Structure 1
Amino acid sequence: MFTGLIQALGTIKPVGGDFWQITCVSRSETIIQDLTYGDSVAVDGVCLTVEEVLTDGFIATASPETLRRTTLAQVEIQQRYVNLETSLRVGGKVGGHFVMGHVDGTGRLISAEQTASSWEMTFAASNNIARYIVPKGSIAVNGISLTVAAYESELSQFTVAVIPLTYSETNLSHLVSGSWVNLEGDILGKYVEKFLSPGKLDHQEEITPAFLAEHGYL
């Protein structure tokens, strides 16, 4: 589990094969010193397991499913920086929101406009991700915890306001129009969807106002 607060930038070098072994080099000594064998680390929002710690990075393996669902296999990402975050420690601060590192799919940058106090960035999302997007809700873009400022359901597009610190210290500043990004919807929305979907509960009982009243919620 992560919080969506990026700790460092790095670069990746895939080895290839069905299971890609990825060597990640970080510009930050702090994040490397915090890693040990078997740790989880988010690479552009993708949770990977550290198999070997190097002096300037680490080695992890990405499965075919991970490569299919994320941007890690794209040539573009191999030519730019990736966001890095180590896993949340018990008792640690949660400054963003709970990010699982289980990417739901990819989206692409539509536009990025600088304002007086921030950058307004608009992204397009696929339908399987768009259903979890709500105004003022949380979303992870390349592992970055961001708040949805606006959402256009007809276009499946959402806009976020990015403060200068986040823009400069993450790889958002390296994106151009059309760049693909990893997206993860808020885990709370997924559980709400499951519980409210008729016929999907184990006991097959739909949650209705009557059900809530019977169980003391109204």
Structure 2
Amino acid sequence: MFTGLIQAIGTLTHSSPNQLTIQWAGASHPAMADIALGDSIAVNGICLTAETVLPQGFVATVSPETLDRTALGKLADGSRVNLESSLRVGSKIGGHFVTGHIDGQGVLEAATATDNAWTLSFTVPDRRVARYIVPKGSIAVNGISLTVADCSPSGDWFAVAVIPVTYRETTLQDLRPGQSVNLEGDVLGKYVEKFLQAEPGLNGAQSEGPGRDMISPDFLVEHGYG
């Protein structure tokens, strides 16, 4: 589990078609200093396992599924990547819950500087992630926890407002129009979707929760969501 708050920037090298070496130079976040064998680290939002620990980096293997679903295989050697170590008990959660399991890819449409922020817009051809994009909802873009400022009704387009420190301290500044990014929708939305799709009598048992037709504004108020 991660939070979407980037702790360091690393450089990616393809050691082999299915193996990556991630390294960083100079000072990095303290969380990167004590990486141990088997630790989970999010690389551009993808949860990878440290199989070999280097003085300032690690080596990880990526599965064919990961290469197929994410933009990792499109990155050239030397590309910069966002890094975050897994959430620790007692740590602050300043972003949102991020699992490190990518739903699909998006494409940067435009990046526009405003007076005090950057506005980035993305197209989302992959319906696996588009359906979880809602106004003011959370979205992880290359592992960065962001808030959806605007989106189309279907979620196949969305925009985010990025403050200067986030733009400066992550690889968002490296993106160019037409470049693919990894997207992970809010895990809470996925559970809600599953809940609404549940049918009475599933697995031979009567469902204890309300069916889709029973969820109404009155029901939500009654259960503390008003």
Cross-structure match for 1:208: 213
CA distance in 2 between partners of 1:197 and 1:116 (Å): 44
CA distance in 1 between partners of 2:61 and 2:31 (Å): 19
Cross-structure match for 2:110: 111
Instruction: After TM superposition, give the deviation of residue 53 of structure 1 in Å.
Output: 1.1
Say whether 1:45 aligns with 2:50.
Answer: no
Please give the residue correspondences for 1:130-209 in structure 2 after superposition, counting only pairs within 5 Å: 130-153=130-153, 156-199=156-199, 202=203, 203=205, 205=207, 206-209=211-214
Query: Does the CA contact (< 8 Å) of 2:129 and 2:183 recur in 1?
Result: yes
Query: Does the CA contact (< 8 Å) of 2:120 and 2:161 recur in 1?
Result: yes
Once the two structures are superposed, residues 27-61 of structure 1 have per-residue CA deviations (whole angstroms, 9 ceiling, x without a partner) of 34434312111110000000001111101211111
CA distance in 2 between partners of 1:41 and 1:130 (Å): 25
Letter in 2 for 1:23: T
Which of 19, 25, 34 is equivalent to 1:21? 19
Instruction: After TM superposition, give the deviation of residue 70 of structure 1 in Å.
Output: 0.6
Once the two structures are superposed, residues 76-125 of structure 1 have per-residue CA deviations (whole angstroms, 9 ceiling, x without a partner) of 4x442100000000010000000000000111100000000100000111
Cross-structure match for 2:97: 98
Closer/same/farther in 2, CA of residues 49 and 119 from structure 1, 3 Å limit: same
Q: In structure 2, the residue corresponding to 1:158 is in which secondary structure?
A: strand
Q: In structure 1, the residue corresponding to 2:116 is in which secondary structure?
A: coil
More deviation, 204-213/66-75: 204-213
Cross-structure match for 1:84: 83
CA distance in 2 between partners of 1:43 and 1:155 (Å): 25
Query: Does the CA contact (< 8 Å) of 1:2 and 1:99 recur in 2?
Result: yes
CA distance in 1 between partners of 2:22 and 2:143 (Å): 16
CA distance in 1 between partners of 2:140 and 2:69 (Å): 15
Query: Does the CA contact (< 8 Å) of 2:130 and 2:154 recur in 1?
Result: no
CA distance in 2 between partners of 1:160 and 1:210 (Å): 30
Q: In structure 1, the residue corresponding to 2:52 is in which secondary structure?
A: strand
Say whether 1:61 aligns with 2:81.
Answer: no
CA distance in 2 between partners of 1:32 and 1:189 (Å): 30
CA distance in 2 between partners of 1:35 and 1:120 (Å): 34
Letter in 2 for 1:25: Q
Q: TM-score, normalised by structure 2?
A: 0.87
- Give the aligned CA root-mean-square deviation in angstroms: 2.2
Instruction: After TM superposition, give the deviation of residue 197 of structure 1 in Å.
Output: 1.2
Query: Does the CA contact (< 8 Å) of 1:32 and 1:53 recur in 2?
Result: no
Once the two structures are superposed, residues 190-218 of structure 1 have per-residue CA deviations (whole angstroms, 9 ceiling, x without a partner) of 000000015395547434327996xx749
Query: Does the CA contact (< 8 Å) of 1:4 and 1:143 recur in 2?
Result: yes
CA distance in 1 between partners of 2:49 and 2:15 (Å): 16
Instruction: List runs of 5+ in structure 1 lacking aligned partners.
Output: none
More deviation, 8-17/142-151: 8-17
Q: In structure 2, the residue corresponding to 1:15 is in which secondary structure?
A: strand
Query: Does the CA contact (< 8 Å) of 2:108 and 2:178 recur in 1?
Result: yes
Closer/same/farther in 2, CA of residues 155 and 130 from structure 1, 3 Å limit: closer
Instruction: List runs of 5+ in structure 2 lacking aligned partners.
Output: none
Letter in 1 for 2:88: R
Q: In structure 1, the residue corresponding to 2:168 is in which secondary structure?
A: helix
Once the two structures are superposed, residues 106-164 of structure 1 have per-residue CA deviations (whole angstroms, 9 ceiling, x without a partner) of 11100000000100000111222111011110000000000000001357100000000
